[in-house]
Amino acid sequence: MINKGKFGKIAGFVASLGLVALMSAGCESDDADGEKGDSQTAERTRITFFAAASMTETLTAIAQRYEAEHPDTEIVFSFDSSGTLKTLIIEGAYCDIFMSASPRQMNQLDSGNGENEGYLMSGTRTDLLENQVVLVVPDGNPKGIKGFDDLIKRLGDGGILLAVGNSDVPVGQYSAKLFSAYGLNPDELYGSGTLTIGNNVKEITSQVKESVADAGIIYATDAKSAGLTVVDTAPEKAVGRVIYPVAVLKGSKHAGKAEDIIEYLKNDESRKIFESVGFKSLILQPADESKIFTD
């Protein structure tokens, strides 16, 4: 004869064991799912991209598109003057891709700046874009500045404060070339009190937009992005071509992915984003085969 009281205790004990087992299995399952999620997150490739400040808006927009199409990749930008970024790379900062607002800084990295065999991965350097140097004024143009000719004549009067880049910033180097083309000594101008100096093109743009300066020398693309009035464009014979090269760094841990991103910068959608603010693409577009005629 079965003792019902004893049987009930045994059944209760077995049931409690079953509940503990289920709870344990559930915890193990949650842990496994968590580990799987952590693994998926850890597998996301992080690309460090150093780029000239004038690339901020366009590269950010393109990166968002790339990440949406490549969820395994995260692009992290450092935007600053090309000279500052070049120095960081030489001093050992980690970087996968570098894009400069002038060939000068890229050339220095390519040559190793006299210290080594160079920082760029062979075969990855591309001249991607071209820009223009322009003269901009605040809203309403309070000083009535008509262009570079008018600006140069009036700089010596002390009634105009001009915002320019420092000597290590490409836009500042283009400004110095422009002054020289007008027969002015850039060093004397920098010490004359008629100039206010920006460490990158965004600082110069802000000084003009906020009417801290009466005019500024920046890039056409920054003028368009900031909604500033352009009163003149520097002639190519005075400043040269404003070329933006891009390359993968030798120290990149993800060179294949970095090269893929550079290729992405060359596609039609990226080109449209660059051109929307005034950049000129230097990448030849594939010919339309429907318009090619053969004998």
DSSP letter (8 states) at residue 41: H
Q: Three-state SS for 208?
A: helix
Q: Per-residue pLDDT averaged across 215-241, rounded?
A: 97
Share above pLDDT 70 across residues of the chain, in percent, rounded to a whole number: 81
From the list 228, 200, 237, the residue with the least C-alpha distance to 102 is 200
Q: Is the pLDDT of residue 209 over 50?
A: yes
Residues 2-51 have pLDDT tens digits of 444 443 443 444 344 444 443 444 444 444 444 444 444 558 899 999 99
- CB atoms under 10 Å from CB of 285, counted, come to 10
pLDDT at 116: 73
Give residue 218's pLDDT: 98
Share of the chain above pLDDT 90, in %: 73
Question: Which of 157-161, 188-192, 266-270 shows the lowest mean pLDDT across its residues?
Answer: 188-192
Per-residue pLDDT at 42: 55
Residues 164, 226: Cα–Cα separation, whole Å? 16
Q: Which pLDDT value is given to residue 246?
A: 98
Q: How do beta strands 126-131 and 133-137 pair?
A: unpaired
pLDDT at residue 8 in the model: 46
Please compute Rg for the chain using Cα positions.
29
Q: Which of 102-106, 189-193, 282-286 has the lowest mean pLDDT?
A: 282-286
Tokens of residue 194, six digits: 């008629």
Instruction: Flag whether pLDDT at 146 surpasses 80.
Output: yes
| Residue 40 or residue 126, greater confidence | 126
Residue carrying the six token digits 């030849």: 284
Beta-sheet strands, E only, within the chain: 45-52, 73-80, 97-99, 126-131, 133-137, 162-165, 195-198, 215-219, 229-233, 242-248, 280-281
Q: Which amino acid is at 237?
A: K
The model carries a pTM of 0.80
| Mean pLDDT computed over every residue of the chain | 85
* pLDDT at 273 (0 to 100): 97
The token pair that represents 57 in the structure block:
């808006």
Taking residues 180-198, what's their average pLDDT? 88
Tokens coding 197? 């100096």
Stretch 97-121: mean pLDDT = 89
**Can you tell me the distance from the alpha carbon of 168 to that of 113, in angstroms, rounded to the nearest whole number?**
15
Closest CA to 163 of 153, 175, 152: 175
DSSP assignment string, 107-173? HHHHHGGGTSS-SBPTT--EEEEEE-EEEEE-TT-TT---SHHHHHHHHTTT---EEEE-TTSHHHH
Q: Rounded mean pLDDT of 188-199?
A: 88
Q: Which two tokens stand for residue 278?
A: 């005034």
d(CA 148, CA 151): 5
CA distance 169 to 172: 5
**pLDDT tens-digit readout, 230-247:** 999 999 999 999 999 999
2 in helix, strand or coil?
A: coil
Q: Which helix (H) or strand (E) holds 69?
A: helix 56-69
φ, ψ for residue 99, nearest 5 deg? -130, 120
